[in-house]
Amino acid sequence: MTKKILFLGCSNLAGDGQNPNKDQIWKDVVFGQDAEIVNLSWWGVGNQFILGNCIDYISNNKVDYVYAQFTGLARFDIPAHDNYSIPDYDYCVKTYKRRYLCSGGKVGSWVGSDRTNEIFMPCYFNDEEYQHVAKESIQSVASTLWFLKQKNIPHNWTFFYDITNPATPEQDMYDGHVEKFPDLLDKTHWINSDPHSYCAKHNGLQDDKCHFHNSVYLDWVVSVKDQINHNRSN
């Protein structure tokens, strides 16, 4: 019987034109070729987007396993009307039911538009003081994990980078960090590793020092395979 897998994340889990793509990597290493992967990840999104897509999709579809690769703490997403858009701004995103206006981080794409400057400036009035945004992001992660537990859906999760000690200054600049791993987050199904740190260590980061070369991301998936049990119940 075909197993239905849900992927939740940002650009570091979305399709990116590389060969193999991340869906294929996970099929090759973890799930097998007969798995059906629904990947709702997208570029520039934050953890509010991930939470919303998780609840919306699972409320309407049967899912056998979820992999959530949470994203940057300094990103913030606002639910938007389905017909809303901003000219020349690519981060008003919908991959399932709801559209979100996404900041992309404390120095994200919002900086380049007068309209998004007006919208997001209250979040990033001082780009060195973003813990209020990080707290909201962490609460979205906690809510996603709580929902999956309540639904008794097998899942694993990690952040795409080390949120307490980002592996590159560029990653810290984009998405921020916290001083201590949040006690709020249930580590029962946590993958005790992150792909960004692994790729940084093994020369697997792209020039922006944020995104991965998939050949090295594949090696990371292999390295954490024993922590993943997509047949496990909560």
The CA distance from 193 to 201, in Å, is 12
The CA distance from 170 to 20, in Å, is 26
pLDDT for the residue numbered 232: 59
pLDDT for the residue numbered 113: 85
The answer to the question of residue 193 being in a domain is yes
Q: What percent of the chain is modeled with pLDDT above 90?
A: 89
Smallest Cα–Cα separation from 23: which of 46, 40, 39? 39
31 touches 5 (CB < 8 A): yes
The answer to the question of residue 232 being in a domain is no
Mean pLDDT of the chain: 95
The answer to the question of residue 99 being in a domain is yes
The count of domains in the chain is 1
| Cis amide prior to 195 (ω within 30 degrees) | no
What average pLDDT score do residues 5-23 get? Answer: 95
Cβ-based neighbours of 55, under 8 Å, separated by 6 or more: 147
* Other residues' Cβ atoms within 10 Å of the Cβ of residue 26: 25
**Per-residue pLDDT at 192 exceeds 60:** yes
Structure tokens at 229: 């049990």
In degrees and rounded to multiples of 5, residue 71 shows phi and psi of: -115, -160
For residue 23, give the CATH number of its domain: 3.40.50.1110
- Which structural domain, as residue segments, surrounds residue 106? 4-227
* Other residues' Cβ atoms within 10 Å of the Cβ of residue 57: 18
Q: What is the pTM of this model?
A: 0.96
The answer to the question of residue 234 being in a domain is no
* Other residues' Cβ atoms within 10 Å of the Cβ of residue 151: 15
